[in-house]
Structure formats: structure tokens, C-alpha cells
Chains A and B, each alone.
Chain A
Amino acid sequence: MSEELLRIDDLHVAFSTRRGMVEAVRGVTLTVKAGEMLGLVGESGSGKSVTGFATTRLLDAAGRVTAGKILFRGQDVTKLRGDDLRQLQGAAMSMIFQNPRAALNPIRAIGLQIADAILTHKRISKEAARAEALDLLRAVQIRDPEARMNAYPHELSGGMCQRVMIAIAISCNPALLIADEPTTGLDVTTQKVVMDLLADIAAARGMATILITHDLGLAARYCRRIAVMERGRIVEEASPGILFSAPQHAYTRRLVAASPTATSRIEDLVTEEERERYAPIVSKSRREPAHGTPPLLEVRKLAKRFDQGAAAVADFSMTMAGGESVGLVGESGSGKSTTSRMICRLIDPSEGDIVFDGQSIGHVAARDFHRSPLRKDIQMVFQDPNESLNPRFSAFDCIAHPLMRLGGMRAGEGLRKRVEECAERVGLPLDLLPRFPHQLSGGQKARVGIARAIACRPRLLVLDEPTAALDVSVQAVVLQLLDRLRRENDIALLFVSHDLNVVRMLCERTIVLRNGGIVEQGESRALFDNPKTDYTRKLVEAIPHIETGPMLAAAL
């Protein structure tokens, strides 16, 4: 089992863009042995996916291998043409992609899509191919596979779609499987099931696997060897144990630090030098609200029914004090986003009431709430900073907009000062203010989104998966920022996320939702350390913590 299957040697990949050639991969060298699972970890833009695409020859038309070799069973993949190439693709080597629903043809029955792959490489009848496809659906543990053969992707859940993708990928028993962020975007519980399945299948069939991921925890859980990439280069390669206990490269150290673990605190997410500056803020004890102070937010028996079918949210009640942080967690479809939007007054509840600072706002129609004086007290930060910023507004305009609309400020010196103040609060360099969203990095955009939300000095900030699209290092910084805002400005945070590690660190209290109802709630640490319901326990266990010991032992 130690023969060398794939050898990438000094690989360079460049993309031609409007600003000239950009090197995405600059000298990657790595090997994969038959049957092993290699983790390729890095943040966005590190070149890890590009390396995968170059290996499977699926680079965009703009991308080109400019130097180096990719030897697969001794044959240079970069030089293959025509039929030779097609015999390799899907047969000897296959790939699984991020966002499985988009990776499947939306208007072709999934049985046919699996059969397509089989028929491309085997000279068998359509019936035989169909029978094989059915076996594959069974192999990836899809329930009722006969009926699912004729289903279309939109009729399946994300996890099911990824299983179908796996079925396609393994249909011709490839020697190498490249899985590019196979579980990103899936619920934690689904993530675990899919990854377990993938690992089992790879082991059973003796397939070598490259797991490309940004999630160090995930790689640590399933791989015996991890290569860390940064800016087109491999900076370190080691077993997970060594990587976590004694990271050599500065980048690896930062990455390891930023990756949340079962026990990490927000202040742990940065390297030690940075931690020192943060310590005094955390140590400052929060002043307790005077006894008998009414809660900032009180939600009573909230329910939401959409046009057809069951309630999306039912009988939801909670309270929040000023400056408190509460996490709202659950799988997709549990109703957490719907609840947060009702509290933000973006959608109208079907039943129940919302009382903010002693005033009932549940009955103000959502479309009129922007005129309410309370609008500026409740602000939100959205999931995807790319899509929630107006591409025609500069960073300055984005932050100034709510000040003018809600704060009644006019353009001028006063406005400029306030905007700069907000930018400073969120750590956004002032020279970035004239830039437009596309000229900013993901982390910078997230800061603009937060600066915009705090511009009017709200008392409640509702955050809907604010870090889901961010790299871990950026996530760490944003989480610290939010925590600091809460502590220093007494802003209450309602934090909606499926990432339990993050919620545990940031939120004092956590509410677990399932199918629109509250399953469990309580003080975060207690809840995670000692879940009372199976559902919560399953959620907690599914988190790919960086737990070096037991997994490795099991694998060895």
C-alpha cells in the first residue's frame, strides 16, 4: 500500500485575467500513495482547489499549467490529449465538488447522470448501466434507491445530492478521488454522515483521496497526512498530531490558532502576541444590570406560517437583556433564520408578539418598520458580505447610508467623522473607505457590513451566519470584533449559526431549534458540555474538533 500513485512536481498554474497573468499555484510538490487520504488545507485563494483542478484537468479556459509535472501512475497528466485524457477522467481519477446541488444537471434524472458516467467508460448496455447505477445508489446509502433513480436534483436534499455525486465519482472505481470542499454548505450532522461515508468507501475500495478543505478540524479528523497551502505554495506537510502540537511555519501556527476547538475561547483564536492586546478587554467585568430592569427584548409565543404547509416557527419565546449574547442554532430548516428575521422585523409573524425596550413592535407591519424610531436600535449583519453590499456603493457610502436614512444626518464634515469613527471601531483602515465592494477582501467586506450595522448605535445586533463565508483566520478576527463591541458598547447580540464552536465561544446563552420549535436552551458551556437531548448531542458530536488523539489511534 505504499506505492506512489500521484506525484506533483513543482507545479505552476497561472490564470490570464484582465490585469495580466496571475499565478495561482507557484511550485507545489506533493505525493499521494495508493489508498491514502491526504488533506490539502488552506484558506481561500491559497491555490488548493486549483491544484485539484489541474490534476483532474478541469481548469477553466483561462487557467494554464505553466511549469511542472503531474505524474499519475508515471504518466504526465498535463500532456494528455483527447481519448487518453477522457479515459483518465472519471475512470482512473474522479472528483467531487463543493455545492453538490449545482454540480448535478438540474434537468436530468440522477439515475441517468450516474449511468452517463458508467457508459462513458464501459461498453455495456443501457440496462446494465442502469443496474450498476442502482447498486451505486445503494452503496452511498440512499434510501429507496429504485424511486430515487428517476428523481431530479431539486427533489433531493443537499446531503443526498452529495451522495449522488459520490456515486458518480466512484462509479468506475477510480484509483484517485479528489474531494473539493465536499461538505461545505451542509449541516454539521449531514457533514459528518457524508464524510464518514466517503471515508468508508475510500477505505473499502482502496481509493486514494485528496481532501481539499479550509477546515483544519475536518482534515485532522479524516486524514493521516495534511499539507498546508498558502498563496500557491505548500508551507508545511505533517501528520495532524504534529501539525497541531508543533506547527513549524508561521502561517500554520496562525491557522491552528484560529481554528476553534472544543475548548477554545475567543481570545485563543489568535497567536500569542496578538492575544496580549485583547486580554484587558476581556478581563473587564461587565456591569450587571440593576435588578428589576426590564429585558431589552422579549419575544412571546412567536409563530410563522408560510402560505402552504406546516408552521416554520411555532410557539417561540425568549428574552434578552441589554448587552447579552444569545446563540440560535439548529440544522437548516429548523426555523432559526425565520425567527431572526421576524425579530428584525423584516417579515411579519403570524402569531405572537415582540416587545423591544418595553414597546410592542410585533404588530408594526414589516414594510412600515423602517419608519419606526426603533429601526435604528435593531440592526442586522447578513451572511454573505458579497451579496449584502450594494456593488455601486463605496465602503463610505455603505456606512453613511443608514446614518443619513435613519440618523437623519446630512452629507458633510459631521457625517464623515461618524463614518470614520465607525470604520475605526471595526478596524477598517480609513484609506479603504473610497473603495467599492469588489475591491475589498472578504474580511474587509465583513467589517464594512458590521460598521454599517453599528453606525446608528443600535442596542440589538442580529447576525445571520456572519462568518460562514469567511476563512478561519478572518473569522477569528470578526468574532473578536463582535465580542469587543458587545463588551465595550453594550450591544446585545443575537447570533444565528449552524457552527456550534463559534456559538459556544461568542454566546453566553444558546437556544437549540428543531423543526421550528425550541428543543433546549441554557448557558452555552453547560449546554455543549452536557447536552440534555439526543438532537443537541448529535449536533455537538458532529463538530469536527481538532481532537488529535482518539481518531488517529482508531485509524492506526
Chain B
Amino acid sequence: MLSYILRRIVATLPVMAIVALFVFSLLYIAPGDPAVVIAGDQASPEDVERIRQSLGLDRPFLVQFGGWVWRILHGDLGTSIFTNLPVSAMIGQRLGPTLSLMIVTLLLTIVVAVPLGVVAAWKAGSLIDRVIMGFAVFGFSLPVFVVGYMLAYIFALELEWLPVQGYTPLSQGFWPWLENLILPAIALGCVYIALVARITRAAMLEVLQQDYIRTAKAKGLGQGGILFIHALKNAAVPIVTVIGIGIALLIGGAVVTESVFAIPGLGRLTIDAILRRDYPVIQGIVLLFSFVYVLVNLMIDVVYTLVDPRIRY
């Protein structure tokens, strides 16, 4: 198992190298130039050119790429063109908020979506099922920012229960930390809850038709035991898969959520960096995201083996 995990991690290296080359090339051919943004609207073309030179942006593609790879291999993600801060430090600043948001959203999703899906499958065709699935369609079709505005309006402005925006690090206390994450997690989780609830329902419906569920009933097991001990675990593989895929969805949704709730996370850093053409930052983030994605996939595979004894690596 351990050797399998190690092999999988090693196997990610070529993937990351391809991603890196791809992103670097894409940025190279994409229109826009950080020097122009730095110089400002009033700058002369000569000023812009001198800034380009000082940033090394005038060098040939391969020289730039080679230099970047060389530094990466030495553990250096480079320095932001704009802030003059190390990219690793900038990502470090933003990791906490995004990770917090992701974890809270993930927990919220699992706690809400899985039971909803289970109940919907159990009561398939009933009013409860239709209400839950109706909510799922609703959650799926509402954009994150709309949900975000509605939540902020109701719970922050009208009821004044929770703050409108911002982020407090966990080091300043659990409640202040959580308080700032509840609304964003709900907003971000909506689509995700809808997705996971639907998949849970579908997977459960399939499992509930299996013979061993009838066996469980024949044993006289209670509804709860049948649903959660026998059925849910058998339905877990597709559910775990979709939760994993959903993490990619979360990364995308985090960009909007972080903007709406003014959370200083990686999503906003990404957008800012792209709009300004802060190449080293964009490259660093893409590298990080692709690594996280590969890691999540690995984790899903590991979870499979915990859930299903028939799966072995």
C-alpha cells in the first residue's frame, strides 16, 4: 500500500512537468504584458520596454522556461513581478483561508448531502424525495454569487448573526474563524451539495435494489441499519468519487466565493495574478493546484480500499 502511494506520487512528476510546460507556453503566447500594467496608463513605450528588460521578459522563451525550471528544481517558485515578494510566501499567506473554506465546505457537504441523498433514495418517489431533488436542481442552477448575496443579506445585514465578509485565522480562536466561514461555505457548497446528494441518491437507489438489502430486511434489521450499515457503504465508491471530483469544482467556485466574501484566499490571488499577468505567481498556483488535484485523486483511491475490501492495489 505504502509503496503504491509512493509510486503514485512519483508518477505525478511527469504530469506536473507537462502541466508546467503547457502553462508556461500558454502564458508566453497569451496577449498582455505585465510591464504595461506596472508602468501605468501614463507611461511611455520606452519606459515599458525598459521594465520588460529589467524583468527579463524580453529573453527567448526557452531561456525563460529553462531558468524557471532550474529555480523550481531548487525549490524556488520565483518572485512576484508586482509585489517583489517570493511566490511561495504569497501562496503561503493565501493557503490558510482557502484550505479553511474548502475543509468547512467539504464537511458541510458531506454532513448535509449524504443524509439528504440517502433519505431521498429511501423515500424515492415520495414528496420528500421530490422536495430534496427539487432543492438539488435549484442548488445546481443558482450561481454561487447569487446564493452568496442572498445569504449575506439575510444572515449578516438583516439578522446580524454573522459577518458579511472577511477571514479570521484559526489562531485567533475557533468561533471567530468559523463565524467568517459559515456563509461562504454554504454558498460554495450549494452546487456541491446538490451534486453529491443526487449521486448519493442514484447510488443508493441502485444498491437498495440489490439482493443483499432484501437479505438485511429478511434479517429484521431496522431501517437505519439497512440504510447506513449495509446500503450506504456499498454506495460509497461513486459518492467518494464525486466528492473527489467536486474538489476541482470547489477550486473553481472558491474564486467567486472568495471575491463575494472578501476572503483573502488563493482563488483571488489567481484572478489578480491573471489579470495583471503576474507570470511567476500564476505558474506557482497552477503547479500547486495540479499537485493538489493529483493528491486528491490518490486519496480517493486510498479511500476506495478502506470502503471496499474487493479493491486492492
Q: Which of chain A's residues have a CB closer than 8 A to the CB of B219?
A: 89-90, 94, 116-117, 120, 168
What are 30 pairs between A and B in contact, CB < 8 Å? A56-B218, A58-B217, A86-B222, A88-B220, A89-B218, A90-B218, A90-B221, A94-B218, A97-B214, A97-B218, A102-B210, A102-B212, A103-B215, A104-B212, A104-B215, A105-B212, A105-B216, A106-B234, A106-B308, A107-B309, A107-B310, A108-B229, A108-B230, A116-B225, A117-B219, A117-B220, A120-B221, A152-B310, A168-B215, A168-B219
Q: A107-B308, A152-B310 are in contact. Are A87 and B214 (CB under 8 A)?
A: no
Q: Digit string of B284-312 for contact with A (CB within 8 Å is 1, else 0)?
A: 00000000000000000000000111100
Contacting residues, chain A, for B212 (C-beta < 8 A): 102-106
Tell yes or no: A50 within 8 A of B by CB. no
Least distance between B305 CB and chain A CB atoms (Å):
11
Contact-residue size bin, chain A (C-beta under 8 Å from the other chain):
20 to 34
B211 lies within 8 A of chain A by Cβ: yes
| Apart from the given pairs A86-B220, A99-B211, A107-B233, 18 other A-B contacts in the complex at a CB distance below 8 Å | A58-B217, A87-B220, A89-B217, A90-B221, A94-B218, A97-B211, A97-B214, A103-B211, A104-B212, A106-B234, A107-B234, A107-B307, A107-B310, A108-B230, A116-B225, A120-B219, A152-B309, A154-B310
Closest to A88 in B: B220
Determine whether A165 belongs to the interface, using a CB cutoff of 8 Å to chain B: yes
Does the CB pair B234–A105 fall under 8 Å? yes
A90 pairs with B220, CB closer than 8 A: yes
* Inter-chain contacts of A86 with B (CB < 8 A): 220-222
Q: Tell me the smallest distance from the CB of A422 to a CB of chain B, in Å.
A: 37
Residues of B within 8 A of A99 (CB): 211
Taking A105-B230, A107-B309, A165-B215 as contacts, is the C-beta distance between A116 and B210 under 8 angstroms? no
A16 → chain B, closest Cβ, in Å? 11
Chain B neighbourhood of A418, CB < 8 A: none
When chains A and B are docked, how far (Å) is the Cα of A97 from the Cα of B215?
8
Pick from A108, A120, A152, A165: contact of B220, CB under 8 Å = A120
Interface string of A158-176 (1 = CB under 8 A from B): 0000000100110000000
Enumerate chain B residues within 8 angstroms of A102, measured Cβ to Cβ.
Answer: 210-212
A250 to B219, CA, bound (A): 39
Task: Enumerate chain B residues within 8 angstroms of A169, measured Cβ to Cβ.
Answer: 218
Query: Chain B contact residues: over half helix, strand or loop, or mixed?
Result: helix
Residues on B with C-beta less than 8 A from A91 are 220
Task: Confirm or deny: A95 has a beta carbon within 8 angstroms of a beta carbon on chain B.
Answer: yes
In A127-157, the 8 Å CB interface with B consists of 152, 154
Q: Residue of B at shortest CB range from A153? A: B212
A370 in the interface (beta carbon within 8 A): no
Contacts of A95 in B (CB 8 A): 218
* 8 A Cβ contacts from A68-105 to B: 86-91, 94-95, 97, 99, 102-105
**Any B CB within 8 A of the CB of A121:** yes
B-facing residues in A171-222 (Cβ within 8 Å): none
Q: Which residue of B lies closest to A102 (CB)?
A: B211
Contact B214 A58 (CB under 8 A): yes
A154 CA to B312 CA, complexed, in Å: 13
Q: Which chain A residues in 311-366 approach chain B with CB under 8 Å? A: none
Contact yes or no, A116 B216, CB < 8 A? yes
The distance in angstroms between the C-alpha atoms of A58 and B233, with both chains bound, is 22
* Residues from 256 to 294 in B contacting A, C-beta threshold 8 Å: none
For B234, the chain A residues whose CB sits under 8 A away are 105-107
Mark contacts of A105-116 with chain B using CB atoms, 8 A cut-off: 1 yes-contact digit, 0 otherwise: 111100000001
- Chain A's nearest CB lies how many Å from the CB of B232? 11
Residues of B within 8 A of A165 (CB): 215
Q: Give the docked Cα–Cα distance between A95 and B211 (Å).
A: 12
Separation of A95 and B217 alpha carbons in the complex (Å): 10
CB closest residue in chain B, given A107: B308
B237 and chain A: residue at smallest CB distance = A107
A116 CA / B230 CA spacing, docked (Å)? 10
A residues 408-448 in Cβ contact with B at 8 Å: none
Q: Which residues of chain B have C-beta atoms less than 8 A from A89's C-beta?
A: 217-220
Q: Give B188 Cβ to nearest chain A Cβ, in Å.
A: 32
Nearest-Cβ distance from residue A81 to partner chain B, whole angstroms: 13
Q: In the bound complex, how far is the Cα of B229 from the Cα of A56, in angstroms?
A: 22
**Least Cβ–Cβ distance between B241 and chain A, in angstroms:** 16
Q: 3 smallest A-B Cβ distances: which pairs?
A: A90-B220, A89-B220, A90-B219
Nearest-Cβ distance from residue B75 to partner chain A, whole angstroms: 43
Q: Which residues of chain A come closer than 8 Å to B220, judged between CB atoms?
A: 86-91, 117, 120-121
A51-63: contact bitstring with B at CB < 8 Å (1 yes, 0 no)? Answer: 0000010100000
Bound form: Cα–Cα A56–B230 in Å? 20
A79 to B222 Cα, complex, angstroms: 18
Cross-chain contact of B310 among A87, A90, A106 (Cβ < 8 A) = A106
Q: Which residues of B contact A107 (CB under 8 A)?
A: 233-234, 307-310
With both beta carbons as reference points, the residue of chain B lying nearest to A92 in the complex is identified as: B220
What is the minimal beta-carbon distance from B97 to any residue of chain A, in angstroms? 38
* Chain B residues in 8 Å Cβ range of A94: 218-219
Q: Chain B, 46-90, contact with A by CB distance < 8 Å: what is the 0/1 string?
A: 000000000000000000000000000000000000000000000
Nearest chain B CB to A342 CB, angstrom units: 29
**Complex-state Cα separation, A338 to B215, whole angstroms:** 33
Within the assembled complex, what's the spacing in Å between the Cα atoms of A12 and B113?
Answer: 40
For B211, B219, B222, which residue has the most chain A Cβ atoms within 10 angstroms? B219
Between A87, A91, A116, A165, the greatest number of chain B beta carbons within 10 A of the residue's beta carbon is seen for A116
Against B, the Cβ 8 Å flags (1 = close, 0 = not) of A494-524 are: 0000000000000000000000000000000
Shortest distance in angstroms between B309's beta carbon and chain A's nearest beta carbon? Answer: 5
- Which B residues from 199 to 256 make CB contacts under 8 A with A? 210-212, 214-222, 225, 229-230, 233-234
Is there an interface contact between B221 and A116, defined as CB atoms closer than 8 Å?
A: yes
- Name the contact of A58 in the complex, choosing from B218, B230, B308 (C-beta under 8 A): B218
When distances are taken between beta carbons in the complex, the residues of chain A under 8 Å from B215 are 97, 103-105, 165, 168
How near does chain B come to A89, taking the closest CB pair, in angstroms? 4
Residues of A contacting B221 in the complex (Cβ-Cβ under 8 angstroms): 86, 90, 116-117, 120
- Nearest Cβ in chain A — how far from B120, in angstroms? 14
In the complex, chain B residues whose CB is within 8 Å of the CB of A90: 218-221
Most A Cβ at <10 Å: residue of B216, B225, B308: B216
The residue of chain B having its C-beta at the shortest distance from the C-beta of A114 within the complex is B219
A169 to B216, CA, bound (A): 11
**A103 vs B210: C-alpha distance in the bound complex, in angstroms?**
8
Q: How far is the CB of B215 from chain A (nearest CB, A)?
A: 5
CB distance from B216 to the nearest CB of A (A): 7
Q: Which residues of A contact B214 (CB under 8 A)?
A: 58, 97, 103
Among residues of B, the one whose C-beta sits closest to the C-beta of A178 is B218
A174 → chain B, closest Cβ, in Å? 10
Q: Mark B176-213, 1 if CB is under 8 A from A, else 0.
A: 00000000000000000000000000000000001110
Interface-centre pick from A105, A120, A169 (highest chain B CB count, 10 A): A105
Report the bound CA distance from A261 to B120 in whole Å: 51
Question: Which residues of A lie under 8 Å from residue B308 when comparing CB positions?
Answer: 106-107
Q: Kindly state the separation between the CA atoms of A104 and B210 in the bound complex, as whole angstroms.
A: 9
Which of B217, B229, B307 is packed against the most chain A CB atoms within 10 Å?
B217
For B229, the chain A residues whose CB sits under 8 A away are 108, 116
User: Chain B: which residue is nearest A100 at the CB level?
Assistant: B211
Q: Give complex CA distance A121, B219 in Å.
A: 9
